[in-house]
Amino acid sequence: MILEVHDDFDLKKIAESGQCFRWNEQPDGSYRVIAGGYVLNIRELFDADEIKEYSGKDNDIVRYGTADFKHTFFINCGKTEFYDFWEEYLDLKTDYSKIRAKIDKAEDDYLFRASETGKGIRILKQEYFETLMTFIISQRKNIPAIRASVEKLCKAAGIEKDGCYLFPTPEQMASLSEDEISACGTGYRTKYLMKAAKDIADGEVSLEAFAGLSDAELLTELEKLYGVGVKVASCTALFAYHRMDFFPEDVWIKRVLADHYDGHFPLEKYTPWNGVMQQYLFFGQISDK
DNA sequence: TACCAGGTGACAG
DNA sequence: CTGTCACCTGGT
């Protein structure tokens, strides 16, 4: 299919934004994305001739956004799979260039510059269980270490598909022994993962039911899970439940706030889009390194 | 070798 | 309620 997005959309920035850990750049510049039980390949078509070539092959074309610029992608899935999962996952109905336009350069030049650097990031709508597990794993780990750990876990418990391993279901995860999980490099987080997986597999906790809660209630319920504090809970709320107003504060963001905002971000100015602002600030910070 | 990294729970005070 | 500390593991 051809995906034409008249809005901010940058594959590389999304892959490196730290919200997802299973986007892998391929030798041809495309990205392989494992999510929702699917394995997708997505490639931006930069060249007009290339776009014409693909468009001529009676590929379905879907269009999103209203900006006066566009990004064109080739994705190797059909309409059924696309509407079933990827449309929502990629958050194609949200207009990020309009959200970006809420940032006043004169009022906050630092955020404005961060948004220019991070332009193209979208907040994915990822799966509840995978996001929760992944951000539990992320505690005191850097991004490469998180990716390596998640990959091992998928290989240990997930189903193989197209040469990749899907993220385990709660049941698959709960069937692993402590040693098997620990062998994935999860360290002291192993007991947190086991408890959450078991409670969810047993039906004691329903991540699906959490979707009906208000932002505040959702945060409270997530924080009740063993090993889940405010950071992991707010990342899960933002990246899986798509609660766009959450503003997760990790050490990187805390540094930004200390250096540029007197320790406190003016959340009231950007409601209900603070999560997007957080992503711009975070991306600006890590891309300096 | 020692210290740190996208935190959290358990405990002091 | 705020401060301190151990914790697995991989990296410098």
Average pLDDT over residues A86-99: 98
Spanning CA of A251 to C1' of C6, the rounded length in angstroms is: 19
**Nucleic strand C contacts from chain A, 123-182, CB < 7 Å:** 140-141, 144-145, 182
Confidence of residue A288 (pLDDT cuts 50, 70, 90): low
With a cut of 70, say whether residue A289 has pLDDT above it: no
> Which nucleotides of strand C come closer than 7 angstroms to any CB of the protein?
7-11
Average pLDDT over residues A48-52: 92
Distance CA A196, CA A203 (A): 11
Task: Give the nearest nucleotide to A149, CA to C1'.
Answer: C9
Spanning CA of A188 to C1' of C7, the rounded length in angstroms is: 6
Average pLDDT over residues A32-55: 95
Q: In what order do the strands lie in the sheet with A23-25?
A: A23-25, A31-35, A38-44, A71-75, A2-6, A61-65
The model's pTM is 0.96
With a cut of 80, say whether residue A248 has pLDDT above it: yes
pLDDT for position A64: 98
pLDDT for position A285: 84
Average pLDDT over residues A153-167: 96
**CA separation, residue A196 to residues A121, A169, A220, A225, A236 (Å):** 30, 12, 15, 7, 14
With a cut of 90, say whether residue A286 has pLDDT above it: no
Task: Give the nearest nucleotide to A232, CA to C1'.
Answer: B7
A29 touches strand C (CB under 7 A): no
Task: Give the nearest nucleotide to A182, CA to C1'.
Answer: C8
Distance CA A289, CA A283 (A): 10
The DSSP output letter for A159 is P
- How, if at all, do strands A71-75 and A23-25 pair? unpaired
pLDDT for position A279: 96
Task: Give the nearest nucleotide to A148, CA to C1'.
Answer: C10
Task: Give the nearest nucleotide to A223, CA to C1'.
Answer: B8
- HSE-CB at A201 with a 13 A cutoff on CA atoms is 15
Spanning CA of A140 to C1' of B2, the rounded length in angstroms is: 18
Spanning CA of A227 to C1' of C6, the rounded length in angstroms is: 15
Q: What is the DSSP string of A164-193?
A: EEPPPPHHHHHTS-HHHHIIIIIGGGHHHH
Confidence of residue A68 (pLDDT cuts 50, 70, 90): very high
Spanning CA of A112 to C1' of B2, the rounded length in angstroms is: 40
Three-class DSSP category at A284: helix
Percent of residues, chain A, with pLDDT higher than 90 = 91
Spanning CA of A7 to C1' of B10, the rounded length in angstroms is: 47
A188 touches strand C (CB under 7 A): yes
- How, if at all, do strands A31-35 and A23-25 pair? antiparallel
Phi, psi angles (nearest 5°) of residue A156: -75, -35
